[in-house]
Amino acid sequence: MTINVKNELLKRLFEANGSPISGQEFADEFGLSRTAIWKYIKEFEEEGYGITSIRKKGYVLTHSPDRVNAANIQKHLKTKMYGHNITYYESCSTTQTIAHDDAQSGAPDGTLIIAEEQTAGKGRLARPWSSAARKGIWMSLIIRPSLMPQQAPQMTLVAAVAIVRAIEEVVKIEATIKWPNDIMIKGKKITGILTELQSDPDRVKAIIIGIGMNINHDMEDFPEEIQSIATSLKLESGETIDRSRLIAEILSFLELYTHMYEKHGFSPIKLLWEGYSNTAGKRIKAVMLNETIEGVALGISEDGLLEVKQDDGSIRGIYSADIIV
């Protein structure tokens, strides 16, 4: 993998934890001139980093802006593959389309496309997805697991469990999963997941997991029409969240659970998922494209379908629906 020297320099500045990094040594290591290093330092300052230059010692990072760029995420990263290759945008239309293109051109397993803002974010069923600048996590992860195409939809549930675990770990609050792709706190949505597939008839080539999370929004950061149904981690916890740390944690759990799914099948994930579900055991309405059914949600099947016991006693497996609890 080719190293992005600018990212590497920023990473070293972070890792030095307040100690100076020698510009000369870094320049020698990467075969660059001192001027090239100085130009990177100027660019960092323009991006909002505070960097002090100490004579004969080097550069010290004194302040970093709240950005979900590669260096900020990678300083927390504990994974083997996921998040080692990151493409970062201040603004883009949708990370999902960029991820599809990158996957087609051979991006490695675990490549992350992330943006501070999306101007045309999309949700399930091509609904618009509001993605305010620097308030949330708007990212698409390209993974290449050894799965068959029919096992791909369950990756939405794998991702949901990973996200809830990461929120528990970093924010210390409990979130629940509303089948198939919503993460909720006290009945309001904080996260949506959009799983898309690139596949041969008998083999997954890539799965693109799009994750949209409302993190540091105040209520006025949401469009008026979703203010009654959406919330953010900041609104629920009363604290501003370190988005980069949360992303690194999500990538860790996602890597762990994806490998678990590849190795041991869906059963262990199903157990975890059912523990976090706010749907199982409740009376629900499932609104599908052509019909609406009512009944008690029993849980999910081995292939990720929601099983609903209707009033006549029959059990229906549902592929996709809007669930009203």
Using CB under 6 A, list all residues that contact ligand BTN: 94-96, 118, 121-124, 127, 129, 131, 138-140, 181-182, 192-194, 210-212
What is the layout of strands, in order, in the sheet containing 176-178? 86-89, 111-115, 136-143, 203-214, 188-200, 182-185, 176-178
Nearer to ligand BTN, 7 or 97 (CB): 97
How far apart are alpha carbons 138 and 247 in whole angstroms?
A: 10
Q: Is 118 annotated as contributing to ligand binding?
A: yes
Phi, psi torsion values for 195, nearest 5 degrees: -100, 125
Q: Is the dihedral of CA 236, 241, 247, 248 positive or negative?
A: negative
Mutual orientation of helices 155-171 and 267-276 as an angle, nearest 10°?
50
Nearer to ligand BTN, 23 or 212 (CB): 212
- The size of the chain, in residues, is 325
Q: In the bound complex, what is the minimum distance in angstroms from residue 179's beta carbon to ligand BTN? A: 12
Nearer to ligand BTN, 139 or 164 (CB): 139
Q: In the bound complex, what is the minimum distance in angstroms from residue 185's beta carbon to ligand BTN? A: 15
| Residue 202 C-alpha from the chain's centroid | 27
Beta bridge partners of 192: 182, 212
DSSP 4-57: -HHHHHHHHHHHTTTS-B-HHHHHHHHT--HHHHHHHHHHHHHTT-EEEEETTT
Nearer to ligand BTN, 23 or 210 (CB): 210
Q: In the bound complex, what is the minimum distance in angstroms from residue 182's beta carbon to ligand BTN? A: 6
Nearer to ligand BTN, 1 or 125 (CB): 125
Q: In the bound complex, what is the minimum distance in angstroms from residue 223's beta carbon to ligand BTN? A: 14
How far apart are alpha carbons 23 and 34 in whole angstroms?
A: 7
DSSP 277: B
Nearer to ligand BTN, 44 or 129 (CB): 129
The residue at minimum Cβ distance from ligand BTN is: 192
Beta bridge partners of 37: none
Q: Which residues of the chain form beta strands (DSSP E)? A: 50-54, 58-63, 86-89, 111-115, 136-143, 176-178, 182-185, 188-200, 203-214, 283-287, 292-300, 306-309, 315-318, 322-324
Nearer to ligand BTN, 10 or 139 (CB): 139
Q: In the bound complex, what is the minimum distance in angstroms from residue 114's beta carbon to ligand BTN? A: 8
Q: In the bound complex, what is the minimum distance in angstroms from residue 299's beta carbon to ligand BTN? A: 21
- Which tokens is 183 given? 């993460």
Q: In the bound complex, what is the minimum distance in angstroms from residue 30's beta carbon to ligand BTN? A: 33
> Which residues are part of a known binding site for biotin?
118, 189
> Which residues are part of a known binding site?
118, 189
